[in-house]
Chains A and B, each alone.
Chain A
Amino acid sequence: MQQPQRRMVYFLVLALGLAWVLVSADRSGASTFGQIPAPQQDFLAPDFELKTPAGEMIRLSALRGQAVLINLWATWCPPCRAEMQSIEKMYQEYKDEGFTVLAVNMTYQDDPLAVMPFVHEQGLSFPILLDETAEMANAYQLRSLPSSYFIRRDGVINEVVIGGPMSEALLRTRIEDILK
């Protein structure tokens, strides 16, 4: 292709590209961020209501206004066990600033009798919830344990961390983000 023709092609492509940028602009703000509930960053955290081992019901949406860490775990999962002390330490450090933890045990795939001994052994003081029917696991499309969801005060998921154990530095940076 000769130089003048080539330059004409470049010019046309760039002009069409610019037109496409303007035509495909998202003027309606049709992004689904923060509106549709889904277990993904920038979506509204799917709501759930689960009971604690003591029988008390806790609903996620009732905690709106607080920064929440949802941690999905099981007693048979070594990285889940390994990160509990760090989570407890962060809970103690940040709870007065409006931070809470919901540690949801995947009871449907765990030994229900092993849950409370583990909680006592670790000295965990944050709420433990029991997912006995996989309701929560399905809503959060659980694929790996542990899975952690850092939720802002407005109920939107700020970050999802799959796998573990999470270090204190990781927890601290994410918690400080959701407390802003």
Chain B
Amino acid sequence: MIEIFRSIFAPPRDIILLLAALWMGLALAEKRAGRYGLSRDAINNIVYYALFGYILGGRLLYALANYSVFSQSPLSIFSLNLDLFDPAAAFIVAVIVGVVYGSRQKFTLWPTLDALTPFFAMMAIGLHLSHLAAGTAFGSPTAFPWGIDLWNATRHPTQIYELVAAVLILGLIWFRRSDSPAGSDFLLFSGLTAGARLFLEAFRGDSTLIFGGVRLAQLMAWAVLAVAFFVTEMIQPQKSN
């Protein structure tokens, strides 16, 4: 079953999974936009502007970082190669574009992030599906019976662990009550996603290790979790005595 899935969506076709997640995530966010005082158009615009920033920023910053190479073949900046791209820089540009667009349109921060949370949660699902198809984000070797054969070893199916966690998180966000303070949905999503990563990273076989074998992604997830708790506490309504 997993093999068939991997054959169908092997790279570069795994991008279909991300595009499907984008489309479904946008549809979910549109459906919920009214609850947070936003229009469907507002949700669409902020996502498409950020996406535009992601694509353009990722390519331009990659070209800048490899200036000597692109100066020899400047037309490569228009190349269809998806690998000529800096995903981290693209993400930062997308966030900046989203924030600038949101401020210009006078969107309030927390309701906008809450409205976009189903979109983020669906993108997380798409990302884990894409990892499963590409065989990336793979697990460490295991003797457990549910291990999958990948890269010449039986490994923890970490892509499936993370996929299940992402589906549960989306379900929790989608079906929770709507009487929480503004920002709760986004902070709950951030906290749960960070918590899942903190726990599941331990089973990964491709972790970046720092001092004492500590996994960098776990430390980052712990920090995100701490910030999510702190901000959740800040947005709680103050009870008067």
Contact = CB atoms under 8 A, between A and B. Distances in A.
B159 to A, nearest CB: 13
Contacts, number: 125
Nearest to A89: B73
Interface stretch (A15-23, A59-67, A108-116, A124-132): A15-23
A21 B82 CA distance: 34
A169 B201 CA distance: 34
Given A17-B198, A42-B206, A24 B72 contact: no
A77 interface: no
B151 A18 contact: no
A169 B213 contact: no
Interface size class of A (residues with CB under 8 A): 35 or more
B215 A143 contact: no
Contact of A21 (B135, B141, B205, B214): B214
Contacts of B201: 24
Interface stretch (A29-37, A48-56, A68-76, A97-105): A29-37
Interface residues of B, number: 48
Interface in B58-111: 63, 66, 69-70, 72-73, 76-77, 79, 81-84
A68 B103 CA distance: 49
A168 B77 CA distance: 11
Interface stretch (B4-12, B19-27, B113-121): B4-12
B206 A162 contact: no
Nearest to A93: B72
A163 B13 CA distance: 10
B10 A144 contact: yes
Contact of B226 (A6, A14, A20, A172): A14
A146 B212 CA distance: 40
Given A7-B233, A14-B226, A167-B76, A24 B218 contact: yes
Contact of A167 (B81, B205, B212, B229): B81
A10 B233 CA distance: 10
Contacts of A29: 209, 213
A162 B11 contact: yes
A40 interface: yes
The 7 residue pairs across chains A and B that have the minimum distance between CB atoms? A169-B76, A24-B202, A38-B151, A143-B10, A167-B79, A25-B213, A27-B213
Interface of B: 6-7, 10-13, 63, 66, 69-70, 72-73, 76-77, 79, 81-84, 135-136, 138, 140-141, 151-153, 195, 198-199, 201-202, 205-207, 209, 212-215, 218-219, 222, 225-226, 229, 233, 236
18 contacts: A6-B233, A13-B225, A17-B195, A20-B198, A25-B209, A31-B140, A31-B205, A32-B141, A36-B152, A143-B10, A144-B12, A161-B81, A166-B83, A168-B76, A169-B69, A169-B70, A170-B84, A173-B69
